[in-house]
Structures are given as structure tokens and as C-alpha cells.
Chain A
Amino acid sequence: MFDLFVAPLTETYFQKALIGGSIVAMVAGVVGCLVVLRRMAFLGDALSHAMIAGVAGGYLVMKLFFGLEAHAPGMLLGSLIAAVTTVALISFVSRISRVKEDTAIGIMYTGIFALGVVAVSIFRHYIHIDLMHFIMGDILGVADTDLWVSAFVAAGVLSLILLFFRHFQLSTFDPIMAASIGLPVVFLDYLFTTCVSLVVVSAVSMVGVILVVGLLITPAATAYLLSDRLDKMMMLAALFGVTSVIGGLYLCVWLDSAGGGAIMLFCTLQFLVVLTVAPKYGLLARWMRLRNLVPQQVVEDVLTTVLRNGKPASPDLIRKYAGEGKGLQKALRRMVQDGLLRHEGQDYSLTDKGEKEASIVLRAHRLWETYLKSIGTPEQEVHATAHQLEHLDQTQTLAYLDKKLGSPKTDPHGKTIPTK
């Protein structure tokens, strides 16, 4: 046990991966919440792919003009410029032409990615970037400069989001109102896109172009299933991001697998677990809700059966009038839980609450009978039709019937109509 958990922690590469990964995952989770809510997941993908052109450009410029080899800040700046250019091109194309935004994203990011790939291969004698390294990432080989870059990016982006939390919340939730109270909506959009680009750029060296979008949206989507407030969602997303990195790194050491892949695998598993067990929006909760659903009609039939009986009714009697089957057992159990029925030995009797609801339904039934009779419905159909009509939701209709019939005291069979 000790070896499994503590031994990796003593290795420098593991410590760096843990620190760098956690920082990146935390800020990616927070920013990802807004990405998910703005339905921009595809854009995150686009940004990460566009970066390769920026990295190549930055590398070339620094090398040709300043003679610096693999200058990290230069490449970072280059990828940022590439990302923002991509976004600008996307919104330009989708605004002025009939091409829709998702198509525009697809065109622009593959185009700029291709530009990057071509540039890297043409200048392969000058540019010493391993494309595979870029595409897959290498979290176990994180350099100190990468750590510093991601720390600064995280600090900057997190302070922006915290400081302008309300602005981002409102412009995401209701951009029209945001504009109407004078928030600079377009500027906020660009500011946010820049934040996403920064996060993507700082994360790519660790998990690679393909997986970075997962780090952005999966923890956020996991948190989305658990929270009804944006601030809580952001905190949870940050937490899930960090746990993915920790879990994924151990997985990668134990299985001796690729680092980025292990992290995203753990992150996805985490999402699937939450999707299953989330208390409100989870699959299990949904299944339980559906299972506990009892048709209102059965409930009402049971209520009136017991009320008509006048004394505690046996299960057999209820079955005779309110229908057969497993559904009835479930309904009876549920009604006892809800405080409508009470056990009396083997039999069931109405609680006060149950009696009140039962007399409402019975009143509906008998008023309908009176009305049906008054419009000349044949004797043998009166009961059956009223039995159907009594289940409608109908406070106003009943008030109307009552008034129209002159508030009758008894139904056509001479039975008392319960008062309200």
C-alpha cells in the first residue's frame, strides 16, 4: 500500500506533474463551467487545434529574428494570437454569411491546424518540435517554465473570473438584459474567449491538443449534474479537475501508460459515476422517480372505494373496485407513506388528509352524475361516464357545475354529495 501511494510522490517528475496538472485542471474546470453553459465546447476544440499554427509561427519568428531556439514565451504568445484570430474569423464568417457558426468553427480550426502542420513540415530543418509531443502532450515531462506559465495563467484567469463573476454570469444567462443595463457584452465575450485560449495554451503541453477540450468540459459537466448555483458549480468543477489529475497520475504510474490519456480516462469515469448516482439529475434518481410514480387515477379510485365502504376496507375489496395487479400494491404502499391511508390490521382506513381528498373526488363524481342525468344521459351510462370525468383536474369546472345545478344535496341515486 505504502509503495503504491507514497513511492511515486518522492519522484520529482511526479511532483511536478501533480502540481502543474492540478493548477491547470483547476482553472480549466472553472472556465469550463462557462464554456459548458455557453455551449461553446466545440470552440474549445477549435482553439486547441488552432494553436499549432501559433506555436510554429512563434518558434519561427523567435528563431529567425532573435536566434532563440524553442523560446517558450514566444510560442505562447504565438498560440494566443492564433487562437484569438481563429475566434475572430469564426465570428466574422458566421455573422456576415449564411454559413452557421458550427460550420464556421469546423472550417476555421481545421484550416488553421492544417496551416500549422504544413508550416512545421516545411521548416522541419529549423523547427525542432515533435508534432506527436504536441498532439499527445507529456505531463510527466513538465518543464519548470511550463509550470511557471501555467501558474501565472491560472492566477490571472481566476482573478478575472472572480472579479467579474456577476458580469460573466449575467452575460451568459441573459445577454439581452446584460446589454440593456450597459454591460459591454461583446467585450466580455472576447475577454472570456481570451481566458479560454490562455487556459488551453497552458494545458496543451501537459495533456495534448486532443484531450485538452476534455479537461475543459468534463469536470464542468460533472459539476453541472450536482449543483444549482454557478458559484458552487465552479468550485465543484475545480475539485473534479484536481481529482482527475491525481487519480489519472496514479493510474498512469501503476499501469505505466500515457499520462494525458490516463487523466482523461479517470475524468470520464468520474463523470459516468456522477451521472449514475447524482442525487437530483442522475440516472438512478431518475429511475427511482419513475418507479415511484403512481397513476393519480389509481390513487383516487382507492380513496373513494375506502370512503364509500364507510369502514376500514380489506385489500380484496379495494382490488375489486380499484383494479388488479402489482400497480395497486405499489399505490397502497405509496399512499400509506404519503399519509393518505392507515393500516388497520390487514385492512386500510383513511387518514384525515385521505378523507379530505377522497370526498373531493366523490363530490366530483356525484356532481358529474347529477349533471349527466340532467342532460339526459342514459341511466346505465351515468356512473361509468362520471367515473371517467371525476379524475379531471377541475376546481373551476366543479364550481360551475355546482352553481348551474343549484348546489344539489344528493345525486340521482339519492346519495349525499359531500360539501367542499
Chain B
Amino acid sequence: MTTDPPFAIEVSNLTVSYNARPALLDVSVRIEKDQLVGVIGPNGAGKSTFIKAILGFVKPDLGTVKIKGIHAKNAKGQVAYVPQRGAVDWDFPITVQEVALMGRYQQIAWYSSPCKKDRDAAMEALDMVRMANLAHRQIGELSGGQQQRVFMARALAQGSDILLLDEPFAGVDAATERAILDVLERAKKSGKTLVVVHHDLSTAAEYFDKLLLIKQRLYAYGEPDIVLQEDLLSQVYEGRLKIFKDVIKKERN
């Protein structure tokens, strides 16, 4: 019997650059299984690039990414991905159900069509995020939170153990944020590892088990109270620390 590798994602010496501008510099981190991990950092810190590098969509200049102990190149489909809302073409002629069905594409051989089993799996995933009743809507007709949930259903339908989410909480109201968090926590309970790009420091400690603080370089990775240190945050966020002092205080109490 083989033992499972202990880490869901292992990133070592990851360096990515766009033209001459470095997006990520020498990032090494190991993310354990069954964690809800928040990726935080200011705008343009390379958070989305980090996600895309794990997915194998951007080629690193240097460094390697391993998924469950296997080199990312050979671990296609092990990682499911929920895109940032702004990155999706909401006018695309596609229905909610078809988006969820995309989660099954990797299981379908190239010469055959989706069968009933695939459709059922897609509907089941939509059910999990409570979107089954809107299955035949075009995706542009949904509210922000509903749109987010459709893509979550797609990721769940993929059946991967690792989910990467790019800013799922951006531009949704408080009630929707709760609903999304609820889905994330249920996914974690069912044994999934989630890596979530997050922009709101004030809720970071409450939502996540571990935090990952990046700005090109990796500044810290660990429990929220280790990462949310005043000196660390001041290095990363430069001068905009006043607001965060309250956050840290709240965290201490």
C-alpha cells in the first residue's frame, strides 16, 4: 500500500515574469491537505499569477509545482479552478447547466458525447450550490452571487481534491458572501483543499485556517495570528497600516 503524500500543493522556487516585470519571485511553500487557505496581498502582488502557475496556465521561468507529490505537468485535472468574475465573458452563449457540465469534460473521451451520468453529476453539483432551479438560464442573467456559485458547481463537478478560487468574494453582498463561505466550508469538510485569493484583510482571520501573504515574494505562510503581524503587513502594504492595526487588535482579543 502506498502512503499518500503529505502535501496537497508543493511550490518550490517559483519565479514568473511578464516581459521584464517579475510577478512572482522565488516563492516556496507547501500547503497541507484539508485546509482552507487564503492568499492575501495588495493589488498587483501576483496573487492571480500564483493561482495560474499552480494550474499550469502560465509557465514559470524557474521553479516547480507539485500537486499531491506529482509534477504539475503530469497532474492535469487534479486541480479545479473558479475564475475571477471579471475574467468571464458573461455574454457567452452558454447556460448554467452547460457550465457545470464543463466540469465533466476531462472524464469524457474526445470522440464521445456527454452521457446521462455526466449530466446527472453536473445537476448534482448545481444542487449542492442551490442553483439547480436556474439550470437553463444564460449565465449573464444571474446575479453576482449566483454567477459565482455556478462556477463553484463546475469546480465541484470536476471532483478534484484541490480547488483554487480567484477572488470569490469580490463584489458580492454580505449575505452572498456567507452563502459562498458556507459552500467552501462544506467542501473542506468533504476532504478538499481550498486555496482562495482574498482581498479583505478584516475577514481573513475569520474565514481561513491558514493565510499566505505575498507581494512578488512570499512574506509569510501559516496560521492567521502568525501572518497578521504588524511589521509584516507594514512591509507589504506600505503606509496603509492604520486600518490594519484595528484588524490586528481584533485578532488579539
For chain A, residues 145 to 194, give those with C-beta under 8 angstroms from any C-beta of chain B.
163-164, 166-167, 169-170, 172-177, 179-182
Show 30 A/B contacts (Cβ-Cβ < 8 Å), sorted by A. Answer: A98-B19, A163-B110, A163-B111, A166-B105, A166-B114, A167-B110, A170-B102, A170-B105, A172-B92, A173-B102, A174-B83, A174-B102, A175-B57, A176-B52, A176-B81, A176-B87, A177-B102, A180-B55, A180-B56, A180-B80, A181-B106, A224-B93, A228-B94, A228-B138, A229-B93, A229-B95, A229-B98, A230-B93, A230-B94, A232-B93
Residue numbers in B under 8 Å from A163 (CB-CB): 110-111
Return the chain B residue nearest A177 by Cβ. B81
For chain B, residues 66 to 121, give those with C-beta under 8 angstroms from any C-beta of chain A.
76-77, 79-81, 83, 87-89, 92-95, 98, 102, 105-106, 108, 110-111, 114
Minimum CB–CB distance for A160 against chain B, Å:
12
- B219-237 Cβ-contact flags toward A at 8 Å (1 or 0): 0000000000000000000
Minimum CB–CB distance for B80 against chain A, Å:
8
Seed contacts A181-B77, A232-B93; 15 additional CB < 8 Å A-B pairs: A164-B110, A166-B114, A167-B110, A170-B102, A176-B55, A176-B81, A176-B87, A177-B81, A177-B102, A177-B154, A180-B76, A180-B80, A229-B93, A229-B98, A230-B92
Q: Are A182 and B77 in contact (CB under 8 A)?
A: yes
Residue numbers in A under 8 Å from B114 (CB-CB): 166
Return the chain A residue nearest B97 by Cβ. A229
Return the chain B residue nearest A234 by Cβ. B93
Q: Are A181 and B95 in contact (CB under 8 A)?
A: no
Minimum CB–CB distance for B60 against chain A, Å:
14
Return the chain A residue nearest B101 by Cβ. A166
Minimum CB–CB distance for B184 against chain A, Å:
19
Instruction: Report how many residues on chain B are interfacial, defined by Cβ distance under 8 Å.
Output: 30
| Measured CA separation A266–B110 after assembly (Å) | 38
Q: Are B92 and A37 in contact (CB under 8 A)?
A: yes
Number of A-B contacts (CB under 8 A): 68
With beta carbons under 8 angstroms apart, the residue of B52, B92, B110 that contacts A173 is B92
| Measured CA separation A166–B94 after assembly (Å) | 12
| Measured CA separation A69–B192 after assembly (Å) | 67
Return the chain B residue nearest A180 by Cβ. B55
Minimum CB–CB distance for A74 against chain B, Å:
34
Interface flag for A233 (CB, 8 Å): yes
Minimum CB–CB distance for B34 against chain A, Å:
21
Residue numbers in A under 8 Å from B158 (CB-CB): 181
Residue numbers in B under 8 Å from A37 (CB-CB): 89, 92-93
With beta carbons under 8 angstroms apart, the residue of A173, A176, A224 that contacts B57 is A176
Q: From B19, B93, B98, B110, name the one whose CB has the most chain A CB atoms within 10 angstroms.
A: B93
Residue numbers in A under 8 Å from B108 (CB-CB): 166
For chain B, residues 150 to 168, give those with C-beta under 8 angstroms from any C-beta of chain A.
154, 158
| Measured CA separation A228–B136 after assembly (Å) | 10
Interface flag for A268 (CB, 8 Å): no
Return the chain A residue nearest B74 by Cβ. A182
Q: From B81, B83, B94, B175, name the one whose CB has the most chain A CB atoms within 10 angstroms.
A: B94
Residue numbers in A under 8 Å from B154 (CB-CB): 177
Instruction: Report how many residues on chain A are interfacial, defined by Cβ distance under 8 Å.
Output: 26
Interface flag for A227 (CB, 8 Å): yes
Q: Contacts A163-B111, A164-B110 known; A179 to B56 CB distance under 8 Å?
A: yes
Nearest 8 pairs between A and B by C-beta?
A: A182-B76, A228-B138, A181-B106, A180-B55, A181-B77, A179-B57, A176-B57, A233-B93
For chain A, residues 246 to 295, give those with C-beta under 8 angstroms from any C-beta of chain B.
none
Q: From A169, A174, A396, name the one whose CB has the most chain B CB atoms within 10 angstroms.
A: A174
With beta carbons under 8 angstroms apart, the residue of B81, B93, B98, B110 that contacts A180 is B81
Q: Are B83 and A176 in contact (CB under 8 A)?
A: yes
Return the chain B residue nearest A165 by Cβ. B113
| Measured CA separation A34–B89 after assembly (Å) | 13
Minimum CB–CB distance for A252 against chain B, Å:
32
Minimum CB–CB distance for B165 against chain A, Å:
12
Q: From B83, B92, B108, B175, name the one whose CB has the most chain A CB atoms within 10 angstroms.
A: B92
Residue numbers in B under 8 Å from A174 (CB-CB): 83, 88, 102
Minimum CB–CB distance for B142 against chain A, Å:
12
Q: Are B94 and A180 in contact (CB under 8 A)?
A: no
Residue numbers in A under 8 Å from B89 (CB-CB): 37, 173
Q: From A37, A164, A169, A177, name the one whose CB has the most chain B CB atoms within 10 angstroms.
A: A177
Residue numbers in B under 8 Å from A173 (CB-CB): 89, 92, 94, 102
Return the chain B residue nearest A179 by Cβ. B57
Residue numbers in A under 8 Å from B77 (CB-CB): 180-182
Residue numbers in B under 8 Å from A228 (CB-CB): 93-95, 138
Minimum CB–CB distance for B42 against chain A, Å:
22
Residue numbers in A under 8 Å from B102 (CB-CB): 170, 173-174, 177
| Measured CA separation A175–B158 after assembly (Å) | 16
Residue numbers in B under 8 Å from A170 (CB-CB): 102, 105
Q: From B55, B83, B102, B138, name the one whose CB has the most chain A CB atoms within 10 angstroms.
A: B102
Minimum CB–CB distance for B50 against chain A, Å:
13
Residue numbers in A under 8 Å from B76 (CB-CB): 180-182
Residue numbers in B under 8 Å from A98 (CB-CB): 19
| Measured CA separation A164–B80 after assembly (Å) | 22
Minimum CB–CB distance for A241 against chain B, Å:
17
Minimum CB–CB distance for B215 against chain A, Å:
22
Q: Are B19 and A180 in contact (CB under 8 A)?
A: no
